[in-house]
Chain A
Amino acid sequence: MFDSLTGRLDQALKKLTGRGKLSEAEVDAGLREVRLALLEADVNYKVVRDFIASIRARAIGGEVMESLNPGQQLVKIVDEEMVRLLGERLPMIYAPTPPTVVVLAGLQGSGKTTTAGKLALFTRRESHRPLLVSTDVRRPAAMEQLEVLAKSINAPAFAPRDTDPVKIARDSLAEARRVNADIVIIDTAGRLQVDLDLLDELERITQAVPAQHRLLVLDAMTGQQAVNVTEAFQKTVSLTGAILTKLDGDARGGAALSLRAVTQCPIQFVGVGEKLTDLEVFYPDRMASRILGMGDVLTLIEKAQEHVDESQAREMEKKLRAGRLTLTDFMEQLKQVKKMGPLEGIIGMLPGAGKIKNLAGALPSDDQLREMEAIILSMTAAERERPETIDGSRRRRIALGSGTDIAAVNRLLKGFQQMQQMLKQMGKGKRIKGLPIDPAQLLRS
């Protein structure tokens, strides 16, 4: 049950695709799966109810039943509606007369302080001069945390102790002039939502400074509460946008949909890692794919492009499509993948990732990678090019040479062979068993 959305939807899609025209009852059956999947993705149940109703209205309205491939059509509607609900992609807008003032609000532990640091770095990369301000006089060491973050990106910080949060916010504008900053990013104390005192403090802060941006920082793993949390903040400070954090985990992020249903304000950024560079612009289409369990293929591609030499990649792609991958290439691939970060993160972005993740145990750890490297390096060049020639006695020799055993060599060769088969299928644009959609097709669209 924990492989929530992906599993459900894979099944729902399987039931829906490749059949003839769908009856109303079948649409409902399909939508039931979608509903369950969305609930398991932590989309608020009221939001799910409305969402399903709007899908049903569109689907029953004829589009699904008259289309050639009803299942695919239904999935398309779900995807489209979700992208629509998730809203527009929005660039960071700076005030015409500086400073631009940003206030970050959110529950405790949602990642406000880290996000403040990330946002500062982001604006600096857009040639702005941020000032980081902490009004969090409550959480122990919150101000120190902000100062450390500021220092690490060489940005000024303003975190006076022993004073009133509202005063800090007000004073930060003068500080901004003093240090010649054109954007002021104000971190606030974490809220427990029921704590009216703190909400009141937040309100006074937003009244004390002309904040163009009042952003809610929301943990992507938030459950049904996402709606109530957003409502509480929306009422208090009239949010202009949101930042979704911790999307580098494996949560489906249904909270994004809940948040959007409550407030029409855009999700502007997403946090995708612990490093201060790990803040990305929000893409509704990618988020929809993620909630729907179709994987974040676009992000994967971008991430790969950042780390992989392009001509090398093209060469590799040719080989992959032809199914002529050698063990030397395999080594190269492993090294590239290592550079891209933890494997689970990468795999999680793939379509049908839930299924693959069940194989997480089969993914090599760093130790295993070293072992694999040792084994491959103990092969002759000819063996690496044509692994099928590696017979029993060669295996023994390789095991001895690499300081491993024959079983380890067998494992590697078998794994390699399986991968080659999978890649061949991929190259032919054939659907890989267990994946909901054809990856090649995704890459084209």
Chain B
Amino acid sequence: MPAEPETPGKSGDPDDKGQGFWKRFSKTLESGRQAYVADLKEVFGRPALDDAFWDDLEASLIAADVGVATTEGVVANLRRQAAGAHLRTPAQALRYLKTELGREMVARPRALNLEGSPAVLLVVGVNGSGKTTTIGKLAHLLRAEGRRPLLAAADTYRAAAIDQLRLWANRAQVDVIANQPGSDPGAVAFDAVQAARARGADTVIVDTAGRLHTRTDLMEELRKVRRVLQRLDERSPQETLAVLDAHLGQNSAQQVKVFQEAIGLTGLAVTKMDGSAKAGVVLSIEAELAVPVKLVGIGEGVDDLNRFDPEQYLDALLRMEESR
């Protein structure tokens, strides 16, 4: 048996759970080796909005994988505001930046759609993004909220993927529906929904094999899984979530675009936001592809997944309260 993973902050008050998570998130950001926060503090701690400030700001955002186009847009906008004498100090600029970035993000609906009997959550993503882990944590999260999740092991390709999901299911204390390795993923999804109906489970989370978005044949396989689910219930899957690794760069946007076109995404789960990786690419993904981040994972513990909160995310990212 593998060792039980550490669950940092588990000792915290259960009512305080969500907040504890974001505290941990901020803490990991702070303790992260990458000096992004420090960069920004340095940037906004400067007395004046000079050229060096703008250069540093641009570098800080690019270093957070915000992407060069979005970064230039943000910086140009800030500069315009500054020039119009609305902004005089770096602290004001930071406040403005956070409001700007936050306005659309906060308005975007991010609740998981769990209407259905059962509600089906189809989880997709490229290899190594953290699908299976995320599903284990999500099952735990939903169970803690009083739901009865059931997992479908539709990753029938990767060696030991089913075993891995089973171990996570044990941790989250939920059941798994699985078939033989190499069997048809659509059939597993079908069986899982039927089993959920029979057992009175209200949520089915479908794990799928990792696939690079460039594999058209494998995208077709996903479409098939979706068709199978729709045959059982036309509103299904209620959620189609793509899992993104926060360490990846601009290719994440391409992944979302292709998955979106192929099977239609309803949301994203960003994983491995464990300190230095900022997933700044999320800003442009949300703005341009209109797929909202719904979940965020920060660590290896079963508790380390939560609903995405853009305000707290931006706070953690920009450390606004520190710069006031």
A contact residues vs B (CB 8 Å cutoff) = 1-2, 4, 36, 39-42, 44-45, 107-111, 114, 137-149, 152, 161-162, 192-195, 219, 221-225, 228-229, 231-232, 246, 248-252, 254-255, 274, 342-345, 348, 363, 365-366
What would 9 more interface pairs be, CB under 8 Å, given A140-B168, A146-B159, A225-B65? A1-B288, A108-B272, A109-B245, A111-B128, A137-B2, A140-B163, A144-B160, A223-B281, A229-B247
Q: Does chain A have a CB within 8 A of B198?
A: no
B5 and A4 contact, CB distance less than 8 A: no
Q: Does chain A have a CB within 8 A of B82?
A: no
Count chain B residues whose beta carbon lies closer than 8 angstroms to a beta carbon of A: 60
B164 and A139 contact, CB distance less than 8 A: yes
Q: How far is the CA of A252 from the CA of B160 in the complex (A)?
A: 30
Q: Does chain A have a CB within 8 A of B316?
A: no
A345 and B214 contact, CB distance less than 8 A: yes
Residue of B2, B126, B250, B281 touching A140 (CB-CB under 8 A): B2
Residue of A nearest to B131 (CB): A109
- Given A138-B3, A148-B159, A225-B276, A344 and B130 contact (CB-CB distance below 8 Å): no
Residues of A with C-beta under 8 A to B274: 192-195
Residue of B nearest to A165 (CB): B3
The SS class assigned to the B binding surface is loop
Residue of B nearest to A197 (CB): B6
Would you give the 0/1 interface string for B150-173, flagging 1 where the beta carbon is closer than 8 Å to chain A?
A: 000000011111011011100000
A248 and B214 contact, CB distance less than 8 A: yes
Q: How far is the CA of A143 from the CA of B2 in the complex (A)?
A: 9
Q: How far is the CA of A193 from the CA of B159 in the complex (A)?
A: 25
Residue of B nearest to A1 (CB): B69
Residues of B with C-beta under 8 A to A147: 160
The SS class assigned to the A binding surface is loop
Residue of B33, B250, B288 touching A232 (CB-CB under 8 A): B33
Taking the closest CB of chain B, its distance from the CB of A135, in whole angstroms, is 12
A194 and B32 contact, CB distance less than 8 A: yes
- Given A193-B275, A224-B63, A246-B128, A254 and B249 contact (CB-CB distance below 8 Å): yes
A108 and B128 contact, CB distance less than 8 A: yes
Q: How far is the CA of A155 from the CA of B288 in the complex (A)?
A: 47
A225 and B127 contact, CB distance less than 8 A: no
Q: How far is the CA of A39 from the CA of B65 in the complex (A)?
A: 9
B167 and A2 contact, CB distance less than 8 A: no
A255 and B159 contact, CB distance less than 8 A: no
Q: How far is the CA of A34 from the CA of B230 in the complex (A)?
A: 46
Q: How far is the CA of A144 from the CA of B159 in the complex (A)?
A: 8
Q: Does chain A have a CB within 8 A of B129?
A: yes
